[in-house]
């Protein structure tokens, strides 16, 4: 019996210490046997504004990982991480251009996808839930203010991570989401791809009516689009897949 190759193959660039985004992405695709996600890692061990942490996000290791993904004949390559939130959104734009030039594969990023969804939703007052240090959270909020967004609420855990971000339970993150939902933002972002937020979107949306944009989910939403597939085929993971 001949095995059937998935017709939609999605490439994901993954921080090396991330243990959340791969199983969550697989779970979101579980009902789509014709779609598969494939992952390549590069080293990320902590998140801070220190030089050794910032240097983890230079493009060359990411481009080398992208080249390996291209060997699998993926139809999209996504940077499934949130670093442009504090480094500046142009870093993702530059990375996407370099991936496409190096591999010939269309590329995207979790955070540029999130920003696109915020625009599509008309969300101006946004709440942010993250595990990050104060210095990282401050930069993220400043970058969104510079883009014209109002910060309706924020919660962060002050953790330098990156591996430790995965140790927080869905119940922990749900509590943070409910706290910022009380400020009635136009949207809630769960801003870390090693954070167990994707399953919470339909729960919070049912309770509050507020759209929830989880960064693992936004990466998959855009990856499907870029690969020429319809993200609306993904059901039960929040309203963003229907935007």
Q: Is the dihedral of CA 47, 116, 209, 197 positive or negative?
A: negative
Contact of 13 with 78, CB cutoff 8 Å:
yes
CB 240 within 8 A of CB 221: yes
Q: 181-196 b/e with 16+ CB inside 10 Å = b?
A: beeebbbbbbbbbbbb
Q: Is 17 within 8 Å of 45 (Cβ atoms)?
A: yes
Domain at 112-215: CATH architecture: 3-Layer(aba) Sandwich (3.40)
Q: Tell me: the pLDDT tens digits for 184-221?
A: 999 999 999 999 999 999 999 999 999 999 999 999 99
User: Do 198 and 25 meet the contact criterion of CB atoms below 8 Å apart?
Assistant: no
Beta carbons of 170 and 196 less than 8 angstroms apart: yes
Interval 214-230 mean pLDDT:
98
Question: Could you name the CATH architecture of 8-110+217-233?
Answer: 3-Layer(aba) Sandwich (3.40)
Alpha helices per DSSP H over the chain: 21-28, 51-54, 59-70, 84-87, 89-103, 110-121, 134-146, 170-181, 201-208, 215-226
The pLDDT of residue 3: 58
- The pLDDT of residue 6 is 73
pLDDT given at position 1: 46
Spatial distance between the Cα atoms of 97 and 235, rounded to a whole number of angstroms: 31
Mean pLDDT of 23-52: 96
SS3 75: coil
Other beta carbons less than 10 A from residue 133's beta carbon: 22
- Give me the residue spans of the domains in the chain: 8-110+217-233, 112-215
Hey, how many other C-beta atoms are within 10 angstroms of the C-beta on 122?
8
Task: Check for a shared fold between 8-110+217-233 and 112-215.
Answer: yes
* pLDDT more than 90, % of the chain: 96
Residue-wise pLDDT tens digits, 131-180:
999 999 999 999 999 999 999 999 999 999 899 999 999 999 999 999 99
Other Cβ atoms closer than 10 A to 100? 15
Mean local confidence (pLDDT), 223-242: 98
Give 5's DSSP letter: P
Contact, 217 vs 237, CB < 8 A?
yes
Instruction: Give the pLDDT score at 56.
Output: 87
Q: Provide CB contacts within 8 A for 146, sequence distance 6+.
A: none
Distance separating alpha carbons of residues 88 and 52, to the nearest angstrom: 18
For 95-115, write each residue's pLDDT tens digit.
999 999 999 999 999 999 999
């Amino acid at each position: 019996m001949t095995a059937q190759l998935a017709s939609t193959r999605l490439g994901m660039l993954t921080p090396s210490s991330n243990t959340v985004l791969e199983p969550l992405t697989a779970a979101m695709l579980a009902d789509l046997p014709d779609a598969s996600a494939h992952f390549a890692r590069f080293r990320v061990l902590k998140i801070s504004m220190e030089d050794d942490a910032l240097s983890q996000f230079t493009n060359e290791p990411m481009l080398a990982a992208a080249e390996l993904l291209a060997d699998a004949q993926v139809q999209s390559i996504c940077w499934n991480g949130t670093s442009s939130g504090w480094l500046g959104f142009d870093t993702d734009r530059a990375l996407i251009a370099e991936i496409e030039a190096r591999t010939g594969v269309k590329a995207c990023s979790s955070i540029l996808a999130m920003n696109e969804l915020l625009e599509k939703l008309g969300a101006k007052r946004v709440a942010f839930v993250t595990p990050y240090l104060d210095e990282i959270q401050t930069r993220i909020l400043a970058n969104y203010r510079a883009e014209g967004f109002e910060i309706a609420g924020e919660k962060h855990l002050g953790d330098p991570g990156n591996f430790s971000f995965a140790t927080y339970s869905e119940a922990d993150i749900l509590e943070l989401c409910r706290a910022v939902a009380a400020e009635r933002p136009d949207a809630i972002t769960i801003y870390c791809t090693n954070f167990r937020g994707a399953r919470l979107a339909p729960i919070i949306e049912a309770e509050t009516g507020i759209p929830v944009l989880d960064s693992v989910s936004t990466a998959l939403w855009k990856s499907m689009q870029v690969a020429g597939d319809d993200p609306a085929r993904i059901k039960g993971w929040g309203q963003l897949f229907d935007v």
